[in-house]
Structure 1
Amino acid sequence: MRLELPPLSRRLAGIVLGVSLLSGCARSDDAANHAPEARLAGALLDMRLNEISGLAASSQHRDTLWMLDDGGNPARLFAVSTSGRRLATFGIEGVTKTDWEDLDAFEFKGKRYLLIADTGDNGGLRRSLQLHVVEEPTTLANARLKPVWSIAFRWPDGARDCEAVAVDAERGEILLISKKREPPELFVLPLQPPARELLTAKRIGLLAGIPAPDPEILRRHPRRARQDALVTAASVSPDRTTLAVMTYRYLLLYPRAPHQDWAAAVAASPRVSVLPWLPQAEALGWSADGRSLYATGEFVPAPLYRITP
């Protein structure tokens, strides 16, 4: 989903202003009950990185993030440094790209993979959606990749938009969070189904603690206020103790106790904070060491933040 933004020169100025006001903005919002440390790690300036809608940290390549862009662009992944420099582009063969919205990196049965979520559906028209799994490249040089396996699925009760997908490889699960439903719904799919057939995602819970619209913003900018809490990304921490969820304005952290499943975890109140300034917050992922989160937006230029919870 694309929101209207000002011209390039004004966006550059916005990055500078947003970073300079970063700490103050986070502390001044009454809806936030937790203020993590956020610092500017870099910036996305390469026009090929316009419309980034998903990211995941590589556990194989130091200081490297994987990113993908939205629908309307070629089927490709980008390797990007943690300072925002594009390192390589990988074309994905044998798939039709409809609306890629999230990305995750995981290790499964001794191999490293990337999961591509073709799950966007702004109009609520898609009858089926796809997830594609590719092996993480061992070399950061332009190349082409083919999925090792793909999953076709549908929702149990009609179409919905989904921009937040995360993998819990230890449980063999893919978590999916609806974008526009109130409250957001949590679904699950098997990570590696035994047969190639159209699956039905299983709804297992609802996300608690989504902030209500800010009254002042609702009065002055009603459309923006309604969009602030729409879910745009998700990521499970490497130690599987926290699910991070991004909306256009907020970062929500759902801790999970050892005895809990994710349905129980998201049913409890999360830690909520206001995100640093982003020109449409759509990409979020834990760092490989699990100590922080990387976040960026969908337009170029865009800041790339490292957020320490």
Structure 2
Amino acid sequence: MAQEVMHGERFSKGKVSSPALGEISGIVSSINNPGMFWVHNDSGDEANIYLIDSVANLKTTYRLEGINAVDIEDIAWVEVEGKSYIVLADIGDNLATRANISLYIFPEPLYKSNQVNDTIPKNEINIKTLIYPGKARDAEAIFVDPMDKQFYLISKREFRSILYTAAIFETNKPHFVLKPLISFPFTFITAADISPRRDALIMKNLTSIYYWPLRNNMSISKALSETYLPVPYEPEPQGEAITFDRSSDGFFTISERPFGLDSYLYYYHISKP
């Protein structure tokens, strides 16, 4: 039986109030703006990212210039040569019909007080195109290994979700074929993250959270081949997003607002027995 990761009670940090944030599908802790978070909506929104504070208040909206989003489903972080970048994943494909999917990679903005709208210039956005081997698939979860900058994606709708990878930061080429690595004993993964200290990985679907320790520079595929540790989780209405805090001591979740239900920024502290 899997050992359980213990934690204190769930803390509500704040209620999402902005009408612009109706379908939050991804969240990542900000590096350049400590205590804040980048979030985005999924299909139906334009190519926007939103900065919220520690109590879920919307601070500013950034539009990605020249990008026509299809279905943005997750957001990740990576540091390259001491500089923080955002990886925005336009990877949603419910009907598995897209010939390819896209990543938009750009320097993480620094929040300017009282500026409610801004633009990520087109010339700062690096677009990477991904293709699945065999056939198109749906996915909603990505992360980047901070040690070797390898990119990972987890498919959603198979009976067993699959881990894919691509070396998108090793070359300047724009097109990559995803390589399948392992499959999981669960499905419908909607978000993933790797801890800033690179000591843990986390994934979630609508009902469960899965946690893996990362030990002694262990490879991602080896770590995820081991038995996960389930984290007690109180499901949210259409709860699709998860991120570690920057200290790697816990994680945050946030949800969409289906049928007008409320959405909250929640924090879980992790302590291993």
Q: After TM superposition, is the score higher than 0.5?
A: yes
3-state DSSP of counterpart to 1:138 = coil
| C-alpha distance in structure 2 between counterparts of 1:170 and 1:253, whole Å | 19
C-alpha displacement of 1:301: 2.3
Matched residue, 2:129: 152
Is it true that 1:114 corresponds to 2:91 in the alignment? Answer: no
Matched residue, 2:7: 36
C-alpha displacement of 1:193: 4.5
User: Which of these residues, 39, 58, 64, is aligned with residue 86 of structure 1?
Assistant: 58
Change (3 A) 1:182 1:258: farther
Identify the range of structure 1 (153-162 vs 193-202) with the bigger mean alpha-carbon deviation: 193-202
Change (3 A) 1:303 1:31: farther
Matched residue, 2:247: 289
3-state DSSP of counterpart to 2:20 = helix
3-state DSSP of counterpart to 2:240 = strand
AA aligned opposite 1:285: T
Matched residue, 2:172: 195
Taking structure 1 as the reference length, the TM-score comes to: 0.80
| C-alpha distance in structure 2 between counterparts of 1:258 and 1:126, whole Å | 38
Matched residue, 1:213: none
1:138-158 CA deviation, whole Å, 9 max, x = no partner?
A: 224321003431110111121
Instruction: Answer 1 or 2: which has greater helix percent.
Output: 1
Identity of aligned residues (%): 24
Matched residue, 1:302: 263
8 Å contact from structure 2 (residues 2, 228) kept in 1: no
Change (3 A) 1:82 1:95: same
Larger Rg: 1
Aligned residues: 261
C-alpha displacement of 1:34: 3.9
**1:60-75 mapped onto 2 (5 Å cutoff):** 60-75=32-47
| C-alpha distance in structure 1 between counterparts of 2:179 and 2:11, whole Å | 37
AA aligned opposite 2:166: L
3-state DSSP of counterpart to 1:279 = coil
User: Which of these residues, 132, 135, 139, is aligned with residue 162 of structure 1?
Assistant: 139
User: Which of these residues, 234, 237, 241, is aligned with residue 195 of structure 2?
Assistant: 237
Change (3 A) 1:277 1:207: closer
| C-alpha distance in structure 2 between counterparts of 1:31 and 1:99, whole Å | 34
Matched residue, 2:212: 254
8 Å contact from structure 2 (residues 241, 253) kept in 1: yes
| C-alpha distance in structure 2 between counterparts of 1:191 and 1:43, whole Å | 36
AA aligned opposite 2:7: P
Q: Give the superposed CA RMSD.
A: 1.8
Matched residue, 2:153: 176
1:95-135 CA deviation, whole Å, 9 max, x = no partner?
A: 12000000012211111111100001101101100001111
8 Å contact from structure 2 (residues 206, 235) kept in 1: no
AA aligned opposite 1:50: G
Is it true that 1:273 corresponds to 2:231 in the alignment? Answer: yes
Change (3 A) 1:305 1:108: same
Is it true that 1:100 corresponds to 2:58 in the alignment? Answer: no
Gaps spanning 5+ residues in structure 2: where? none
Gaps spanning 5+ residues in structure 1: where? 1-29, 211-228
